[in-house]
Amino acid sequence: MDAVREVAMSVAELEAFLAREFPQAFGPGKPHHVMRVGHRVACVRLDADDSHLRPGGTISGPAMMALADVAVYVALLGQIGPVALAVTTNLSINFLRKPAPGPLFADARIIKLGKRLAVGDVGLRGAGSEDLVAHCVATYSIPDRPAS
Amino acid sequence: MDAVREVAMSVAELEAFLAREFPQAFGPGKPHHVMRVGHRVACVRLDADDSHLRPGGTISGPAMMALADVAVYVALLGQIGPVALAVTTNLSINFLRKPAPGPLFADARIIKLGKRLAVGDVGLRGAGSEDLVAHCVATYSIPDRPAS
Amino acid sequence: MDAVREVAMSVAELEAFLAREFPQAFGPGKPHHVMRVGHRVACVRLDADDSHLRPGGTISGPAMMALADVAVYVALLGQIGPVALAVTTNLSINFLRKPAPGPLFADARIIKLGKRLAVGDVGLRGAGSEDLVAHCVATYSIPDRPAS
Amino acid sequence: MDAVREVAMSVAELEAFLAREFPQAFGPGKPHHVMRVGHRVACVRLDADDSHLRPGGTISGPAMMALADVAVYVALLGQIGPVALAVTTNLSINFLRKPAPGPLFADARIIKLGKRLAVGDVGLRGAGSEDLVAHCVATYSIPDRPAS
What pLDDT, on a 0 to 100 scale, did the predictor assign at position B112?
97
Of C21, C61, C65, the CB nearest to D55: C21
Number of domains composing chain C = 1
Q: How many Å apart are CA C78 and CA B93, to the nearest integer?
A: 25
d(C-alpha D85, C-alpha D81), whole Å: 10
pLDDT attached to residue D38: 97
Give the integer Cα–Cα distance in Å for D43 and C129: 39
pLDDT one-digit tens code per residue, A74-96: 999 999 998 668 999 999 999 99
Q: What is the mean pLDDT of residues A107-136?
A: 96
Contacts of D91 in chain A (CB under 8 A): none
Separate counts of helices (H) and strands (E) for chain C: 3, 6
Bigger pLDDT: B17 or B55? B17
User: Which residues, at least 6 apart from A93, have a Cβ–Cβ distance to it below 8 Å?
Assistant: A64, A65, A68, A134, A135, A136, A137, B90, B91, B92
Residue C90 belongs to some domain of the structure: yes
* Dist. CA B114–CA C132, nearest whole Å: 13
| d(CA D89, nearest CA chain B) in Å | 9
Given A96, A111, A132, which is nearest D96 (Cβ)? Answer: A111
D39 compared with B147, residue with greater pLDDT: D39
**What's the pLDDT score for residue B143?**
80
Is D134 domain-assigned? yes
Give partners of C (≥3 CB pairs < 8 A). A, B, D
List pLDDT tens digits, range A37-57.
Answer: 999 999 999 998 878 887 777
pLDDT interval class at A146 (50, 70, 90) = low
pLDDT over 90 percentage in chain B: 72
Q: What is the pLDDT of residue D1?
A: 39
Residue of D91, D116, D145 to mutate, interface with B, max B Cβ within 10 Å:
D116
Q: What is the CATH number of the domain that holds C108?
A: 3.10.129.10
Q: Which chains touch B (3 or more CB pairs under 8 A)?
A: A, C, D
Q: DSSP labels for C61-103? A: HHHHHHHHHHHHHHHHHHHH-TT---EEEEEEEEE-SPPPSS-
Of B94, B111, B119, the CB nearest to C119: B94
Q: Is residue C148 part of a domain?
A: no
| Reported confidence tier of residue D148, pLDDT bands at 50, 70, 90 | low
Mean pLDDT of A65-74: 97
> Which residue is closest to D22 within chain C, CA to CA?
C54
Q: Decide if C116 is inside a domain.
A: yes
Low-confidence ranges of chain C (pLDDT < 50): 1-4
Read off the amino acid at residue A69.
Answer: D
- What integer is the mean pLDDT of B116-142? 96
Task: Provide the shortest C-alpha distance from residue C19 to chain A (in Å).
Answer: 30
- CA-to-CA separations, D91 to C88, D43, D72, in angstroms, rounded: 15, 18, 10
CA C81 to chain centre: 15
Please return the burial class of C74, using the count of CB atoms within 10 Å of its CB with bins 0-12, 13-18 and 19+.
Answer: buried
Q: Cβ of A15: how many Cβ atoms within 10 Å?
A: 18
Residue C143 pLDDT: 80
pLDDT at C50: 79
| 8 Å CB contact of C92 and D92 | yes
Q: A137 to chain D: which residues are within 8 Å by CB?
A: 92, 94, 135, 137
Judged by CB atoms closer than 8 Å, whether chains meet at C137 and B137 is answered as yes
* Cβ neighbours of residue D117 closer than 8 Å, sequence gap 6 or more: B89, B141, D89, D139, D140, D141, D142
Is the pLDDT at D56 greater than 90? The verdict is no
**A148 falls within a domain:** no
Chain C residues closer than 8 Å to A121 by CB: none
For C42, list phi and psi in degrees, rounded to 5. Answer: -160, 160
Residue B59 included in any domain: yes
D129-D131-D134 Cα angle (round to 5)? 120
Q: Taking CA atoms, what residue in B is nearest to A20?
A: B55
Which residue range(s) make up the domain with A67? 2-141
- The reported pLDDT for the residue numbered D6 is 79
Separation between Cα atoms, residue D73 and residue D90, nearest integer Å: 13
| Distances in whole angstroms, Cα of residue D111 to Cα of each of A54, B138, C126, D3, D86 | 24, 19, 33, 18, 16
Nearest residue on chain D to C67, alpha-carbon basis: D62
- Residue of chain A minimizing CA distance to C139: A90
pLDDT for B2 equals 42
- Cα of A112 to nearest chain D Cα, Å: 6
pLDDT at res. D12: 96
Nearest to A93 among B22, B91, B95 (CB): B91
C90 contacts D94? CB cut-off 8 A: yes
Alpha-carbon gap: C54 to the closest alpha carbon of chain D (Å): 7
Residue C146 lies in a domain: no
DSSP H helices in chain A: 2-6, 11-21, 61-80
Q: Residue A143: name the closest of A63, A80, A61, A66 by CA.
A: A80
The mean of the pLDDT values for chain D is 90
Determine the pLDDT at residue B100: 85
Listing DSSP states for B19-53 in one string gives HHH-TTTBSTT-SEEEEEEETTEEEEEE---GGGB
Pairing of strands D134-141, D117-126: antiparallel
Asked if B92 and A89 come within 8 Å (Cβ–Cβ), the reply is no
Residue B39's pLDDT band (cuts 50, 70, 90)? very high
Mean pLDDT for chain B overall: 90
CB pairs under 8 A between C and D: 63
Q: Which amino acid is at A15?
A: E
Average of per-residue pLDDT across B123-146: 91
Q: Which residue has the higher pLDDT, B148 or D75?
A: D75
Chain A nearest C-alpha distance from C72 (Å): 17
Residues with Cβ < 8 Å from B71, sequence gap 6 or more? B42, B43, B44, B106, B107, B108, B120, B122
Chain A residues with CB inside 8 Å of B21's CB? Answer: 54-55
Residue A134, in any domain of the structure: yes
Mean of the pLDDT values across residues B94-99? 94
Helical (H) or strand (E) element with D42: strand D41-46
Residues in C closer than 8 angstroms to D73, CB to CB, are none
Average pLDDT, integer, range D105-117: 96
Q: Note the pLDDT tens digit of each residue in D7-46.
A: 999 999 999 999 998 888 999 999 999 999 999 999 999 9
Determine contact, residues B107/B37, Cβ cutoff 8 Å.
no
What is the residue type of A113?
A: L
For A74, list phi and psi in degrees, rounded to 5: -65, -45
Q: Which residue of C has its CA nearest to D64?
A: C62
- pLDDT given at position C84: 65
Res A49: pLDDT: 84
